[in-house]
């Protein structure tokens, strides 16, 4: 019998006991609902890179302009996130989720009618703002509903976004390519559906704000994971470099994989979109495993495997034929995709009680790195060629070796929910 006695249990208010019981349960209905909202959100956002070949040809944009469009979108979706997360950690705003989605709705309407470079920049800025509002608060919802199984919850949440990202190119190939840029308006139906879903999630979130992630077992875990300030800062810097490695490489795939296939293998635009869908679908599938495996074996090992394990496949990809390229891209997607859930939950364990701020910081960092990388790779492709870009970026996963310097937070500990009746 530990210090948490039956007498203390009886003395606690009923609402407090109920809160801890609720917290210990993994609320799958909320997790899958917020994951589906993430799917819709990222599906709409993925329309932006999916239509790059169309607008490049239609408006005669250069690779540099394509990169600037991506940079603008990623900047809008990254800079605000840490500040929103920091603010909502102190002042939760459950209905900000649906308000953010309204920005995405307006952005898609503008995107469907854009006829010049500056209007495209306005459209992607609006979509980016919607993303920056969505991710910090929805990550908090996922952890609130996790029952302490944070890796599993983050993976369920993240896989929705990855499946959504993979659907964007497929739907672009089926809808936008045949019917043109105005067909982007059809995606506003998804935005409207997401707003309705997030209104319901917001009501649940508001009703459960009194539940704090400080149930006895969770508090012990957070206490065990406390490190000196210098160690925490050093670990966060390592995580930043790992995010840099992952998202600089991912930017080459999401923004320029279609151009690489078109230039090297002379495939059609429509086929290149389908191959991009295959890669992004592999990313979605790999995400499912990352969180639960991190809960089971320790997130450090999953981060290490995910980043460094991608290197052999990335290094081979620029030197093989079409079908081998697609197969290697699938392996890259499966392995690399497990990293972000593990990195995010690892970071929130390093800095307990700041889920919104850390989620906003790392989502923002991921989007920001992706935007900078897209602009850089576009500039480099204009100066050289796409094949050269893919040869250079293939070395980025080797940065994963620095994972060795991260402290081992969980080891091989299995999660087990605390028992209130002890």
Per-domain residue ranges for the chain? 13-212+226-405
Comparing 47-51, 142-146, 290-294, the range with the smallest average pLDDT is: 290-294
- Residue bearing the bigger pLDDT, 181 or 413: 181
At 78, the pLDDT band (50, 70, 90 cuts) reads confident
323 pLDDT higher than 80 = yes
Query: What is the separation of C-alpha 277 from the centre of its chain, rounded to a whole number of angstroms?
Result: 17
CA distance 284 to 288: 7
Residues 6 or more apart from 188 whose CB is under 8 A from it?
A: 105, 108, 109
User: What CATH number does domain 13-212+226-405 carry, 1.20.1250.20, 3.30.930.10, 1.20.1280.290, 1.10.150.120?
Assistant: 1.20.1250.20
Residues 6 or more apart from 332 whose CB is under 8 A from it?
A: 253, 279, 282, 310, 313, 314, 317
End-to-end CA distance of the chain: 7
At 329, the pLDDT band (50, 70, 90 cuts) reads very high
413 pLDDT higher than 50 = no
CA distance 82 to 94: 17
413: left (phi over 0), alpha (psi -120 to 50) or beta: beta
Structure tokens at 297: 């074996």
Contact 156, 138 (CB under 8 A): no
CA distance 348 to 353: 8
pTM over 0.85: no
Over the chain, what is the mean pLDDT?
79
Of 92-96, 355-359, 402-406, 408-412, which has the strongest mean pLDDT? 402-406
Structure tokens at 117: 């470079």
Contact 290, 306 (CB under 8 A): yes
Percent of the chain with pLDDT over 70: 85
At 52, the pLDDT band (50, 70, 90 cuts) reads confident
Q: Return the closest-CA partner of residue 148 out of 24, 268, 59.
A: 24
What's the Cα-to-Cα distance from 160 to each of 53, 80, 156, 166, 360, rounded to whole Å?
Answer: 25, 22, 7, 10, 18
Read off the pLDDT of each residue in 128-148 and give the average, rounded to a whole number.
83
241 pLDDT higher than 80 = yes
């Amino acid at each position: 019998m530990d210090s948490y006695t039956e007498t203390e249990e009886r003395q606690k208010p009923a609402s407090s006991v109920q809160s801890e019981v609720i917290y210990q349960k993994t609320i799958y209905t909320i997790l899958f609902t917020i994951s589906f909202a993430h799917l819709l959100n990222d599906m709409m956002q993925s329309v932006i890179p999916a239509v790059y070949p169309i607008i490049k040809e239609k408006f005669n944009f250069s690779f540099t302009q394509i990169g600037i469009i991506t940079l603008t979108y990623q900047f809008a979706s990254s800079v605000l996130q840490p500040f929103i997360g920091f603010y909502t950690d102190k002042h939760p705003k459950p209905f900000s989720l649906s308000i953010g989605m309204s920005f995405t709705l307006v952005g898609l309407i503008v995107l469907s009618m854009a006829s010049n470079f500056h209007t495209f920049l306005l459209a992607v800025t609006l979509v980016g703002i919607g993303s920056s509002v969505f991710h910090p608060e929805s990550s908090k919802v996922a952890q609130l509903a996790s029952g302490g199984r944070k890796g599993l919850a983050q993976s369920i949440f993240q896989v929705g976004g990855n499946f959504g990202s993979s659907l964007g190119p497929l739907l672009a190939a089926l809808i936008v390519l045949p019917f043109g840029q105005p067909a982007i308006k059809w995606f506003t139906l998804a935005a409207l559906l997401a707003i309705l879903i997030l209104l319901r999630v917001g009501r649940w979130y508001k009703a459960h704000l009194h539940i704090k992630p400080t149930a006895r077992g969770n508090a012990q875990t957070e206490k065990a994971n406390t490190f000196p300030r210098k160690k925490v800062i050093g670990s966060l810097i390592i995580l930043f470099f790992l995010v840099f490695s992952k998202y600089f490489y991912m930017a080459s795939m999401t923004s320029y994989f279609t151009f690489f296939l078109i230039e090297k293998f002379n495939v059609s635009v429509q086929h290149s979109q389908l191959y991009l869908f295959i890669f992004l679908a592999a990313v979605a599938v790999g995400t499912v495993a990352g969180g639960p495996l991190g809960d089971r074996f320790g997130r450090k090992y999953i981060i290490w495997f995910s980043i460094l394990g991608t290197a052999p496949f990335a290094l081979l990809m620029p030197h093989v034929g079409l079908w081998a390229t697609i197969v290697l891209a699938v392996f890259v997607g499966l392995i690399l995709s497990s990293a972000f859930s593990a990195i995010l939950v690892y970071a929130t364990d390093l800095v307990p009680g700041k889920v919104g701020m850390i989620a906003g910081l790392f989502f923002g960092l991921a989007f920001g790195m992706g935007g900078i990388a897209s602009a850089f790779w576009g500039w480099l492709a204009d100066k050289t060629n796409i094949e050269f870009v893919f040869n250079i970026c293939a070395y980025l996963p080797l940065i994963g070796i620095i994972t060795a310097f991260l402290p081992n937070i969980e080891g091989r500990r299995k999660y087990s929910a605390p028992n209130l009746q002890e």
